[in-house]
Amino acid sequence: MSRYPESMQASIKEVEATRLSRAQEEIPMLSLKERQELLHEWHPDYREGGRREIKVGVNQGKRVPHELADLFEGVSVVHSERVDLDRVKHNVDVLVIGGGGGGASAALFAAELGAKTLITTKLRFGDSNTIMAEGGIQAAVGAFDSPALHYLDTMGGGGFENLPHLVHALVRDAPMILEWLARLGVMFDRRDNGDLLASFAGGQCRRRVHSAADYTGMEIMRVLRDEGYSRGIEIMEFCPAVELVLDDKGRCAGAIFANLDTKEQFVIRSKIVILATGGIGRLHIQGFPTTNHYGATADGLVIANRAGAEIIFMDAIQFHPTGTAYPEQLLGLLVSEAFRGWSAQLVNGQGNRYINELETRDITSSATIREVTGRKKGVTTPTGMQGVWLDTPLVEINKGKGTIHRIFPHLFHRFYTYGIDITKEPVLVYPTQHYQNGGILIDEYGETTVENLFAAGEVSGGVHGRNRLGGNSLLDIFVFGRRAGIRAAERAKVIKNGALTMDHVVQYEKELERSGVLKKDIKSPLLLPDYRYEKALTKVHQ
């Protein structure tokens, strides 16, 4: 039934020919020195010309990708002289901006402590990268695992640059978060004996990823959304935040919103703001396709930067090793790392492996880029895309017939729609932009360097260092969502904000102009990517 074109079939034959002998082949893990060399030579983060310095503001001097710097240097979509800060539409204790996993958990914990809580979101409640997480969530609960091993793995994955106190919080809270989610009714995978099923992700010395098939993020999100509705938390959809508002003492005290339907801009005042706006994938850094949600346009970073919040590691972008490279309609979409955790191998066009599949994502992606662009051993599709094979049929051979249907029903269905049976044929993959490793600097309670402004989830940074491990993102959003929600609700009881101001937005723009970098033709935050007309034909995004 194969729908692979004949030009690719020859390579598949070579993959099949080496399959059984490869299955037992051991490729040792790289040493720390070898890792550094590979990254410096092949990882897109180290490419010359991909980033530039921020010229003004609190983050002056830090290097970020051009695509983000352009938005930082753009003109605010808010006409500050037209917004009346005295006309406040809503007044709440805790304002949560973003309706993914980080925002939902922050709101649930804040509301539980009695805070008047409002979730605002650009698209629908739940529209987020959370919902697209396939592999699972890390928590050290195995008999021979421990939070200390989880700590070490996470630090190693991040290039040992992660902020230690944040990693401490992450690994300490992980088992409790897993239990919290299960108590809300998340159907985590079980073994036959009833124990929680755990699998490997790259860079882990123990199997520690807990899944709900390859729908983990979606399963969690639909449960959290339901719980939010049942608790009566107020949710405002299709209203992205377009600027933060400070008070006269420089503390965060609310935000300006835009109703995407009516275009109305309005003010919400709050004692605490929790930013949970997610990532950056739809900026297509260096022209890469992305696994990200339509709404992942760095809005939170842009408005927090203007409000004076420090960022960290925003020059470190994660390229997931296994984005789809064929068929083109699925270009860039995630093929779960769990496949490699379940023994699928990465194989070049000649049927040979080139890296241990359980290396961290930055290493594995670099090795694939080297294999394809450096060694020219990739596979080329009829439209000129290149990739390597993820040999999925090995999962059925090693782990038993039916394993793919049981563990990867979503991915099976997705490829089957295009005539590819991944139990019998490999999948063509290439690195795809997946995650912003850095973000807004937070402390262990999720607070940013701007008082009363918290951040949770992908928009925040520090815990993952320069490269996040698989399974640590679903964990991060709930650990810091919970911590931020609790801290926010407690503080909301005892504080009183002063008069509102948007002066920081005006001042930032003036500074950009003085420095000669103001981009008058760019409006930011971006809010939605523009894929209209000929852009719909580019191969960059699906």
Partner 1 sequence: MEDPAVKFINIYVFGRKYEVPEGLTIQKAMEFVGYHFIRSCGCRGGICGACLTEYRTPKSYQLKVALACQALAEPEMQITQSPFVPMHRAHYGLEELRGQTGILEKIYPEIYRCLQCNTCTRVCPMEIQVMDCMAQAIQGNVEKVATLSFQCIMCGACASKCPAEISQPNVALLARRIYGRHILSLPESLYQRIKDIEQGRYNHVLERLTQISIEEVMKIYTLREQEPQESETWVPKDPDFPENIFLKREDI
Please report, as residue ranges, which positions from 371 to 430 form the binding site for partner 1 (by CB under 8 A): 398, 409-410, 413-414, 417
The residue within the footprint of partner 1, chosen from 25, 41, 226, 513 (CB under 8 A), is 226
- Which position among 168, 370, 523, 539 is part of the footprint of partner 1 (CB under 8 A)? 168
61 is written with which tokens?
A: 């001097």
Q: Which of residues 234-263 bind partner 1 (CB under 8 A)?
A: 238, 260-261
Residues ≥6 apart with Cβ < 8 Å to 117? 92, 93, 94, 95, 96, 107, 110, 111, 233, 234, 489
Are the beta carbons of 110 and 485 closer than 8 angstroms? yes
Residues between 319 and 348 with contacts to partner 1, criterion CB under 8 A:
328-330, 333-334, 343
Q: Which one of residues 77, 115, 171, 311 is an interface residue with partner 1 (CB under 8 A)? A: 171
Return the residues of window 188-207 that contact partner 1 according to CB under 8 A.
Answer: 188, 190, 194-196, 200, 205-207
Could you say whether residue 184 binds partner 1 (CB under 8 A)? Answer: yes
Q: Which of 423, 372, 343 is nearest to 2 (CA)?
A: 423
Q: How far is the CB of 391 from partner 1 (least distance, A)?
A: 15
Decide if 22 is catalytic.
Answer: no
Number of residues that bind partner 1 (CB under 8 A): 89
Q: What minimum distance in Å lies between the beta carbon of 346 and partner 1?
A: 15
Fill in the per-residue mask, 91 to 110: x = in contact with partner 1 (CB under 8 A), - = not in contact: --------------------
Among 14, 16, 112, 227, binds partner 1 (CB under 8 A): 227
Q: Is 331 exposed, middle or buried (0-12, 13-18, 19+ CB in 10 A)?
A: buried
- Pairwise CA distance, residues 218 & 105, whole Å: 14
Exactly one of 35, 43, 150, 340 is catalytic; which is it? 340
Question: Does the protein bind partner 1 through residue 141 (CB under 8 A)?
Answer: yes
| 540 part of the interface to partner 1, by CB under 8 A | no
From candidates 40, 47, 160, 373, binder to partner 1 by CB under 8 A: 160
How many other C-beta atoms can be found within 10 angstroms of the C-beta atom of residue 96? 34
Residues 464-503 interacting with partner 1 (rule: CB under 8 A): none
Q: Which of 320, 434, 483, 487 is catalytic?
A: 320
Q: List, in order, residues 6 or more apart from 522 with CB less than 8 Å away.
A: 70, 71, 73, 74, 75
Give the end-to-end CA distance of the chain in Å, rounded to a whole number: 24
Residues numbered 25-84 forming contacts with partner 1, rule: CB under 8 A: 29, 31-32
What's at 260, amino acid-wise? L
- Which residues lie below 8 Å from residue 67, measured CB to CB, with a gap of 6+? 280, 283, 284, 285
Q: Whose structure tokens read 């919400």? A: 268
* Residue 152 in contact with partner 1, rule: CB under 8 A: yes
Q: Is the dihedral of CA 23, 378, 360, 540 positive or negative?
A: negative
Q: How do the residues of the chain divide into helix, strand and coil, expressed in percent and rounded to 5? A: 35, 20, 45
Nearer to partner 1, 102 or 308 (CB): 102
Q: Least separation, in Å, of the C-beta of 508 and partner 1?
A: 27
Question: Is residue 132 within the footprint of partner 1 (CB under 8 A)?
Answer: yes
| Candidate ranges 226-234, 310-318, 451-459, 480-488; the one touching partner 1 (CB under 8 A) | 226-234
Q: Smallest distance from the beta carbon of 179 to partner 1, in angstroms?
A: 6
Interface residue with partner 1, options 68, 223, 338, 442 (CB under 8 A): 223
Least Å distance, CB 171 to partner 1, is: 7
Nearest CA among 125, 152, 127, 128 for reference residue 138: 152
What's the min distance (Å) between Cβ of 441 and partner 1? Answer: 17
Three-state SS for 447-475 is ECCCCCEEECHHHEECCCCCCCCCCHHHH
Residues whose CB is less than 8 angstroms from the CB of residue 101 and which lie 6 or more positions away in sequence, other chains included: 128, 130, 217, 220, 221, 224, 457, 474, 477, 478, 481
Please state the closest distance from residue 411 (CB atom) to partner 1, in A: 10
Catalytic residue status for 340: yes
Alpha helices in 383-502 (DSSP H): 393-399, 403-407, 409-416, 472-492
The least CB distance from residue 193 to partner 1, in Å, is 9
For partner 1, the binding residues in 260-279 under the rule CB under 8 A are: 260-261
> Closest CB to partner 1 among 72 and 430?
430
**Given candidates 10, 20, 187, 522, which one binds partner 1 under the rule CB under 8 A?**
187
For residue 110, the SS3 value is helix
**Catalytic residue numbers?**
320, 340
